[in-house]
């Protein structure tokens, strides 16, 4: 079996003043369409994680983010790709949310109410649970 080169992905964990976090659904036509995830996308050549996140969230959601705070990095092996997920917390943004890929969005708390959740998203829900003192409340369904 050949070693797959991981794809670097910038992921935005947008957190509002009430402590809710934003999940978006994967658009039709993409792998795992309809699954819920934190928004973001692949780094392009020469981009930093923050630059990629800024570009992707503007392209997908129509908002301009403030500072991206690097949080955690997680590898996830999907059947279609090995991804290195760079999770960044974002507390400030400007502009109105526009779902430019006809995806859905939902502000969530733990336990999340949307399903199904993308497998690469589950660790983040676990980290939130640990930070916030939740036990066993990491996913819906």
Contacts 24+ apart (CB under 8 A), 69-75: 71/13, 71/127, 72/123, 72/124, 72/127, 74/120, 74/123, 75/6
- Quickly state the pLDDT bin for 134 (edges 50, 70, 90): confident
- 1 has a pLDDT exceeding 80: no
Is residue 140 in a domain? Answer: no
Say what the pLDDT of residue 2 is. 55
Parent domain of 81: 7-132
Is residue 137 in a domain? Answer: no
Is residue 110 in a domain? Answer: yes
The token pair at 63 is 């908002």
Say what the pLDDT of residue 97 is. 97
- 141 has a pLDDT exceeding 60: no
Is residue 102 in a domain? Answer: yes
Say what the pLDDT of residue 107 is. 98
Span 100-122, average pLDDT:
95
CATH, residue 64: 3.90.79.10
Residue whose tokens read 């928004």: 39
Using CB atoms within 10 A of its CB, is residue 24 exposed (0-12), middle (13-18) or buried (19+)?
Answer: buried
Say what the pLDDT of residue 114 is. 97
Number of domain units in the chain: 1
Is residue 141 in a domain? Answer: no
Please tell me which residue, 133 or 38, carries the higher pLDDT value: 38
Is residue 138 in a domain? Answer: no
Q: What is the pLDDT of residues 20-78, one digit of tens each?
A: 999 999 999 999 999 999 999 999 999 999 999 999 999 999 999 999 999 999 999 99
Distance of alpha carbon 8 from alpha carbon 41, whole angstroms: 8
Q: What is the pLDDT of residues 74-92, one digit of tens each?
A: 999 999 999 999 999 999 9
Is residue 43 in a domain? Answer: yes
Say what the pLDDT of residue 3 is. 76
Say what the pLDDT of residue 73 is. 97
DSSP string, 56-95: HHHHHH--EE--EEEEEEEEEE-SS-EEEEEEEEE--EES
């Amino acid at each position: 079996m050949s070693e797959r080169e991981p794809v670097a992905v910038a992921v935005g964990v947008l957190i509002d003043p009430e402590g809710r976090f934003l999940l978006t659904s994967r658009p039709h036509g993409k792998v795992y369409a309809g699954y819920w995830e934190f928004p973001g996308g692949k780094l392009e050549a020469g981009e930093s994680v923050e630059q990629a996140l800024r570009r992707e969230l503007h392209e997908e959601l129509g908002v301009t983010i403030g500072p991206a705070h690097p949080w955690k990095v997680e590898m996830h092996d999907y059947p279609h790709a090995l991804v290195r997920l760079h999770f960044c917390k974002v507390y400030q943004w400007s502009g109105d949310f526009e779902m430019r890929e006809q995806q859905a969005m939902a502000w969530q708390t733990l336990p999340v109410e949307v399903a199904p959740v993308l497998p690469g998203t589950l660790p983040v829900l676990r980290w939130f649970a640990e930070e916030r003192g939740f036990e066993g409340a990491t996913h819906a369904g």
